[in-house]
Amino acid sequence: MQVFKFGGVSVKDANSIKNVADILNNKANEPTLVVISAMGKMTNKLEELVNAYFYKSSDSLLIFQEIKEYHFNIINHLFINKNKSIFNEIENVFLEILWAIEEEPSNSYNFYYDQIVSQGEILSTKIISAYLNEIILLNIWIDARDIIQTDNSYREANVDYLLSKDLTFAQIIPLFNQYKIIITQGFIGGTSENYTTTLGREGSDYTAALLAYFLDAKQIVIWKDVPGVLNADPKYFNNTKKIDEMSYHDAIELTYYGTSVIHPKTIKPLQNKNIPLFVRSFLKPNDTGTVIKNLNKRNVATSYIFKTDQLLISIQPKDFSFIAEENLSLIFSMFSKNNIRVNMMQNSAISFSVCIDNDKYKFNNLILELQNQFKVYYNDNVQLMTIRNYDQETITKLSENKIILIEQRSRNNYQMVIKDEE
C-alpha cells in the first residue's frame, strides 16, 4: 500500500479537486491511503474565527458565514444534483461549529482552537470523499481522530505511537479488502476523552508519515505545487534548481533549518522504516519530482533557506551574572513550556540571543515570563538566512543592502540574522 498527501493548495477549489481525482484515477494503482488538509487558506480563516470567538476581537458570525460560503460554493460546483446527502452533511458540520461559537468560552484558548480549526480537515475530506464516490472512484472516509491518539497538549499534541499504530492497523487493513482508496484527514487527532487535538500547523505531512510508518507503506507521495524539493524557495530566489534525490539526513537538516517544503517531524518515522518519500507536482503529475530515501551520499549543492518575519530576542541576566548552565536551563524551559522553537541561537558572556518565528500569541506570553527574571530586548521584522554548502562569494552577495545582526558558521552551514538597511 501507499500513502498520498494533498495539502490545502491542491484542493483549494472545485477544479483543483477534479485534478486530485484525476491523479487518484491514474496513480492509485494499489491500495492508497489519502491524507488531505483543509481547503486553500481555510485553516487561517478558522484561526480567525477562533480569535473572534475567544477574544471577541471581531464579528465571529461574519467569519463563520464566509467559511460556510466558501465550502458551499465548492460543493455547488462539484455536485449537479443538489439533493445529495453531502449538502446535509456539510450543513450539519456548520451547525456544530455554530453551536460551539454561540456558547461562552469556559475552557482554554488552545482547547477551542483545536475543536474549531480541526473542522477544516473534516469538511475538506467529507466533500472530497463524496465527490470521488460520485464519479465512481469508490472510497471510504475515515475519521483520523479514531486512529491518531494523542495526549491533551492542545495545538501541539503528542501522538501515542503504540496505541495509534494498533488502532490504525485494526481499522485500515480490513478496509483495504473492500476499497482501494481510503480518505482521511491530516493534522488532527483525538484524546482518550474523545476531544479533538491538532499536531501543529502544517502537520498533515506528519500525519501522512505516521500512517505510512504504522502500515509499512511501500512509499509516500506528497503532492505539491512545486516540482519537488528545490535548492531555494522560488518566492525569494530566481533560477531555483530541483534536487532529484536526497538522503533522509539531508532532508532532516533542511527541515531543521526551516525549509517549508516538508514538515520537520515527517522524516523520522519514514527513516526508521526506510520508506521512500516522493515530493511531486500535482500540476505535472507525470514528472518525477524528488525522492528522499536511504542514500549514502551527501548533497553538496548549495541550498538556501530564507525565513522572514523573525524575532531576534536578546536575553540578559538582571544582575550581570554570566549566561551559563543555570540561566540557560531556565531560559530553555520557558521556551519549551511555550512551545517555541528556536531557529538560531548564540551566546556571549552576559547575553543570550535567539531567533524565533514571530507568532504573537506564543511570543507575548514568553516575553512576560522572561521579563520576570531577565532583561529582554528584541528586534522584530528581521530575517534568517541559512546557506548550506556556502562560500564567501554567496554570503557577500546575499548580505548586500542588509545589516547583519548576528552570524554563525559551521563547516557546511552558514546562518545570518539580517535586517534591511534603513
> What CA–CA distance (Å, rounded) separates 157 from 167?
17
CB of 114 to ligand ASP, least distance (A): 12
Residues in the chain: 422
Binding segment for Mg ion among 29-37, 178-186, 190-198, 336-344 (CB under 5 A)?
29-37
> What CA–CA distance (Å, rounded) separates 48 from 66?
11
Among 19, 32, 37, 255, binds ligand ASP (CB under 6 A): 37
CB of 229 to Mg ion, least distance (A): 18
CB of 88 to ligand ASP, least distance (A): 24
Among 2, 4, 8, 35, binds Mg ion (CB under 5 A): 8
> Cell 482518550 identifies what position?
192
Q: Could you say whether residue 40 binds Mg ion (CB under 5 A)?
A: no
Nearer to ligand ASP, 101 or 208 (CB): 208
Q: Could you say whether residue 264 binds ligand ASP (CB under 6 A)?
A: no
> What CA–CA distance (Å, rounded) separates 200 from 339?
10
Can you spell out the DSSP letters for 318-365?
A: TT-----HHHHHHHHHHHHHTT---SEEEE-SS-EEEEEE--HHHHHH
Three-state secondary-structure class, residue 221: strand
The binder of 353, among Mg ion, ligand ASP, none, by C-beta within 5 to 8 A per type, is: none
CB of 119 to ligand ASP, least distance (A): 11
H or E stretch including 88? helix 85-102
Among 11, 20, 38, 312, binds ligand ASP (CB under 6 A): 38
Among 7, 31, 40, 317, binds ligand ASP (CB under 6 A): 7
- Half-sphere exposure of 406 toward its Cβ, with a 13 Å CA cutoff? 18
Max Cα separation, the chain? Answer: 72
Among 2, 10, 32, 37, binds Mg ion (CB under 5 A): 37
Nearer to ligand ASP, 121 or 369 (CB): 121
Nearer to ligand ASP, 198 or 303 (CB): 198
Partner residues linked to 188 by β-bridges: 198
> What CA–CA distance (Å, rounded) separates 404 from 421?
10
CB atoms under 10 Å from CB of 24, counted, come to: 20
CB of 43 to Mg ion, least distance (A): 5
Amino acid at 209: A
Residues 6+ apart with CB under 8 A from 349: 322, 323
Q: Could you say whether residue 8 binds ligand ASP (CB under 6 A)?
A: yes
Q: What character string, x for contact with ligand ASP (CB under 6 A) and - otherwise, covers 183-222? A: ---xx-------------xxxx------------------
Enter the DSSP assignment of 296.
S
| Residues engaged in binding ligand ASP (CB under 6 A) | 7-8, 37-38, 43, 120, 186-187, 201-204
